[in-house]
Amino acid sequence: MDRNDPLPPEIELAQLLQRCAARDPAAFRLLYDRTSPILFARLLRMLRRRSVAEEALQEVYVRIWERAAQYEIHRGRALAWMVTIARYCAIDLMRRERLTLVGDDALAEVADESTAEPGAFEKPNHFDDCIGRLSQNTQQCLTLAFVEGHSHDEIARLTSNPLGSVKSWIRRGLISLKECLSGERQTA
């Protein structure tokens, strides 16, 4: 497996975003060059179709340019902030394009975890511990929703579980995760 360049340092990305907020097109181009391969991979993961992912990527960077000034007041880190914009954009496109991504092809791709490049994102403290306390079913539902962008219905079909169970696993899982993360933070 080929190794790509190491991820760009967060501080540099934050500075580029600030320059974008000051309407510096050169900084925007640099930001695009540094981060578009990461965001494109993330969009492909959710949207599967290259043409749709390309359209989404365009929309995402228009948004980033538009909202660069809002970055400062955001508490997250630069790359995480951009990935969030990409995720919301993909969710929106799925609905508009009425993409049905629960065919057999999608299933095959869901199982493919071979291209992982670890260490790209810093997890909240004790995240692995807290997520590990949830049931396997709950973990699977949360991952299918967050990582693949699947809806409740799609998750129910993909995992052959009743829709009601999927909804309640997700709802309870989110509450447990919040409680665990805040509890751990206090004792840490």
Partner 1 sequence: MISSNRELVDRLAAEYVLGTLRGRARRRFERWLVSPQVRVMVNDWEQRLSGLEPSLQKVTPPARVWQGIEGRLELGRSRRPAVRWLAIAASVLVVAMVGLYTLRPVPPALVATQRASIEADAQTIYWRVELLGDNQELSVRALATHPLESGKSHELWILPAQGNPVSLGLLPARGTQHLVLTAGQRAALAGAKQLAVSVEPAGGSPTGLPTGEVIHVAPLSPA
Near partner 1 in 160-179, by CB under 8 A:
170-171, 174-175, 177-178
Near partner 1 in 62-91, by CB under 8 A:
62-63, 65-66, 69-70, 74-76, 80, 83-85, 87-89, 91
137 binds partner 1 (CB under 8 A): no
- By CB under 8 A, the count of residues binding partner 1 is 68
- Closer CB to partner 1, 84 or 105, in the complex: 84
> Would you give the distance in Å from CA 108 to the centre of its chain?
20
| Least distance (Å) between residue 186 CB and partner 1 | 15
* Contact in structure between 20 and 82 (CB atoms under 8 Å): no
Cβ neighbors of 54 (< 8 A, separation 6 or more) are: 40
157 binds partner 1 (CB under 8 A): no
User: How would DSSP label each residue in the chain?
Assistant: ----PPPPPHHHHHHHHHHHHTT-HHHHHHHHHHHHHHHHHHHHHHH--HHHHHHHHHHHHHHHHHHGGGTTT--S-HHHHHHHHHHHHHHHHHHHHT----SHHHHHHHT--TT--TTSSPPPTTHHHHHHTS-HHHHHHHHHHHTT---HHHHHHHHT--HHHHHHHHHHHHHHHHHHHHHHHHH-
Of 10, 121, 132, 168, the one binding partner 1 (CB under 8 A) is 121
142 binds partner 1 (CB under 8 A): yes
- Closer CB to partner 1, 15 or 36, in the complex: 36
| Least distance (Å) between residue 11 CB and partner 1 | 18
Q: Which residues bind partner 1 (CB under 8 A)?
A: 1, 4, 25, 28-29, 32, 36-38, 40-42, 44-45, 54, 57-63, 65-66, 69-70, 74-76, 80, 83-85, 87-89, 91-92, 95-96, 115-121, 123-124, 127-128, 131, 142-143, 145-147, 149-152, 170-171, 174-175, 177-178, 181
